Amino acid sequence: MLLRQLQTFASIFELGSMTAAAEHLHLSQPAVSRQLKALERELGAELCQRRGHSVLPTPAGEVAYAYAQRAIALQRDLHQQVATLAAPETWDLTLSCVDTVAVHTLPDLLQDFLRLHPGAQVHVHTVATRTAVGEVLQREADLALTTTPVTHPRLECLPLFDDPVVLVATPEFLTRFPAPRTIQDLQDQPFIAFQSGTHLRALVDATLAQHGIRPRIMLEYHGHEGVREVILRGLGIAFVPLSAARADIASGRLARLEPEGLPALSRQSCLVLPRGAALKPAAKAFIEVSRAHFASEGGTPGS
């Protein structure tokens, strides 16, 4: 009964009147009014106030609506999960990914996943880490893939692999600028950097600052592809994730620089999921595929 009351209250909140809610729910207006009053008695607070022909929520009503949305979403998820248990071909999965993972890690995982579950529909949102986390919290995405561990009481974080952060430049650039022999030589090098505020930029800046180095930033980009394109044109050096630079290093288009005194840098790619929530069968299957993939790769992204 409480769920039905919450559904009725949500309709009143969204439509702004008892009459409109009654028409939407195919109920009489007295039935809608009774359900609202029953919910108010249950909660011990007035949820709506009449203003002419309109109904406006009270502060308690604003809070109640947020919880009503979550309860309705959980009911919808329950129906979907039960329905899909016997029909894997109807699986639907939404993933929220940071840019580097979406471009360089996710394709291999999707190939493995869709080989096992060819009927599944997968939707990918490429967003910043904070947005990816928010989408999982709001149940707008089933899982998130991030390049840094996430700590939140309502989320669980599963490490996938450690991704070294390496210093690179083109061989052509190094014919014009001597390769840095020590970390102090980085002071005079032109850097192409990830945008301020990103986790990778913070890691690099903190490491260089520990050695008294303030890098000479020539250009900043939000995503790896922008950094990569500028680096490949021989305009500077950059710290990049190895997962994103491996192919260019193997082909000789980029050279890895290892000046003396530069500490090893790394970040950890992870799967983020709601803690304690019932996951869709598709989400459970994707987690299993991801774990198996990186176990077979020895904890590193495929080459």
CATH code of residue 50: 1.10.10.10
The reported pLDDT for the residue numbered 303 is 42
The reported pLDDT for the residue numbered 143 is 97
pLDDT average, residue stretch 78-107? 80
- Domain edge (last residue) among 37, 58, 85: 85
Decide if pLDDT at 302 tops 60.
no
Range(s) of the domain holding residue 285: 89-162+268-296
Q: Does 190 share its domain with 275? A: no
Q: Does 97 share its domain with 133? A: yes
**Number of separate domains in the chain:** 3
Among residues 243, 274, 23, 8, the alpha carbon closest in space to that of 133 is found at: 274
- Domain edge (last residue) among 21, 54, 85: 85
Quote the mean pLDDT of the chain: 89
Percent of the chain with pLDDT over 70: 94
Residue 32 lies in a domain: yes
Least confident residue range of 62-66, 72-76, 213-217, 286-290: 72-76
- On whether the pTM is more than 0.85, the answer is no
Q: Does 184 share its domain with 36? A: no
Decide if pLDDT at 125 tops 60.
yes
CATH code (residue 173):
3.40.190.10
Q: Does 79 share its domain with 94? A: no
Distance CA 5, CA 10 (A): 9
pLDDT average, residue stretch 41-56? 88
Q: Does 133 share its domain with 275? A: yes
Q: Does 168 share its domain with 262? A: yes
- Please report which confidence band the pLDDT of residue 295 belongs to, taking 50, 70 and 90 as the band edges: confident
pLDDT average, residue stretch 10-18? 91
Question: Which of 82 and 258 is assigned the larger pLDDT?
Answer: 258
pLDDT average, residue stretch 116-134? 91
Decide if pLDDT at 257 tops 60.
yes
The reported pLDDT for the residue numbered 86 is 56
Q: Does 80 share its domain with 8? A: yes
Residue 302 lies in a domain: no
Decide if pLDDT at 119 tops 80.
yes
Percent of the chain with pLDDT over 90: 66
The reported pLDDT for the residue numbered 90 is 65
The reported pLDDT for the residue numbered 84 is 62
pLDDT average, residue stretch 17-34? 91
